[in-house]
Amino acid sequence: MRVIGIIPARGGSKGVPGKNVRPLGGKPLLSYTIESALKSKIDRTIVSTENEKIAAIAKEYGAEVPFMRPKELAADNASSLSVLLHVLQYMEEKEKYCPDVVVFLQPTSPFRTQKHINAGLEMLFNSEVDSVIG
């Protein structure tokens, strides 16, 4: 079973400018989500961003950044769904990679651990549900 983790991290936050790269406990906010994803049962951890600084931090912490997100998908009116679909379309077209499970990980939940991610995956795998929201 192929499990992809998708982390949307745009650079244009209006409420807290630069929030995804701001330090929390000495590390960028984004790093916590990447680290948890990499320790979990997720096979691939992809960060979708239009921002070079976010992309560099994502790579530094071990996430994949296979492309830069189009600017229109980083606008205030862009939906999370459109970002997820863009990643999945890119992965299928460019890498012939089509995951069985998508884990949507927002970087603004830094205290979510690999245990939380794995528990959600276990619920999904061991029941007759088709989605889990944490």
Walk along the chain (134 residues) and give the pLDDT tens digit of each residue.
999 999 999 998 778 889 999 999 999 999 999 999 999 999 999 999 999 999 999 999 999 999 999 999 999 999 999 999 999 999 999 999 999 999 999 999 999 999 999 999 999 999 999 999 98
Q: Give the burial class of 18: count Cβ atoms within 10 A of its Cβ; 0-12 exposed, 13-18 middle, 19 or more buried.
A: middle
User: Residues with Cβ < 8 Å from 27, sequence gap 6 or more?
Assistant: none
Residue 15, pLDDT score? 82
Between the CA atoms of 84, 114, 61 and 28, what dihedral angle is there, to the nearest 10 degrees?
Answer: 90
